[in-house]
C-alpha cells in the first residue's frame, strides 16, 4: 500500500472514478467513504480524533464481510444479478486490504506463540488464540488462525 491513509486513497480514487465515469467503482467507494465517515463520527463523541490505520482497516474488513455475506445469501436465493453486483463491489474493496499472510509465515508465528505460551494440547487453545489474534489482528483471518492452532494442538 501507499503512504496515504485508506480514507485519503478512497477520496482520490472517487475523483478518478468520477472522471472515468465508472459507476460501480464510484458507488462502492462512496459506500466505503460513508462507512469510514460514520465510524469517525462515532469515535469523536466530543474530541477531534481521527481514525488510525487499524481502525480504517477494520471498517474495510467489515464492508468486505458484509459483501461476502450478501453474496452467500443471494446465491442461496438464486439472485445471480445481485451476486454479480456484490462481487464487483467486493473486488474493489479487496484493493484496500493488505496482502494476506502466507501460510508459512502464519504457521511460524503460531509456532512461536505456542512455544512462548507453553501450550501442549487443546486445553491451551484459548490462551494461544487470544495471543495470536492480538498479534495478528488485521494481518490474517481469524478462522485461518483457529484452524492452524487446532491442527497444531489437536
CA distance linking residue 30 with residue 42, whole number of Å: 18
Residue 7 has pLDDT above 60, yes or no: yes
Q: Which residues contact 20 (CB under 8 A, 6 or more apart)?
A: none
Which of 29-38, 114-123, 144-153 reaches the highest mean pLDDT?
29-38
As a CATH number, domain 103-153 is 1.10.10.410
CATH architecture of 6-94: Orthogonal Bundle (1.10)
| Predicted local confidence at residue 1, as pLDDT | 42
6-94 and 103-153: identical CATH topology: no
Mean confidence (pLDDT) of the chain? 89
CA distance linking residue 64 with residue 100, whole number of Å: 14
**98 secondary structure, DSSP code:** P
All 3 cell numbers of residue 147? 484452524
* 52 or 81, greater pLDDT: 81
Q: Dump pLDDT digits (tens) for 24-46.
A: 999 999 999 999 999 988 887 65
Cβ(119)–Cβ(153) below 8 Å: yes
Helix boundaries (H) for 22-139: 23-44, 53-76, 80-94, 103-117, 125-136
Domain boundaries, the chain: 6-94, 103-153
Q: Dump pLDDT digits (tens) for 73-87.
A: 999 999 999 999 999
Amino acid at each position: 500500500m501507499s503512504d496515504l491513509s485508506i480514507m485519503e486513497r478512497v477520496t482520490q480514487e472517487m475523483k478518478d472514478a468520477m472522471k472515468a465515469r465508472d459507476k460501480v467503482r464510484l458507488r462502492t467507494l462512496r459506500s466505503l467513504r460513508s462507512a469510514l465517515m460514520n465510524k469517525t463520527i462515532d469515535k469523536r463523541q466530543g474530541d477531534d480524533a481521527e481514525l488510525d490505520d487499524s481502525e480504517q482497516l477494520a471498517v474495510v474488513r467489515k464492508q468486505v464481510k458484509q459483501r461476502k455475506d450478501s453474496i452467500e445469501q443471494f446465491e442461496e436465493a438464486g439472485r445471480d444479478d445481485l451476486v454479480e453486483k456484490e462481487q464487483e463491489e467486493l473486488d474493489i474493496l479487496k484493493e484496500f486490504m493488505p496482502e494476506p499472510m502466507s501460510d508459512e509465515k502464519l504457521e511460524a508465528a503460531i509456532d512461536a506463540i505456542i512455544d512462548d505460551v507453553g501450550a501442549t494440547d487443546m486445553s491451551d487453545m484459548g490462551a494461544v488464540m487470544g495471543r495470536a489474534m492480538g498479534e495478528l489482528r488485521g494481518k490474517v483471518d481469524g478462522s485461518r488462525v483457529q484452524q492452524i492452532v487446532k491442527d497444531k494442538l489437536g
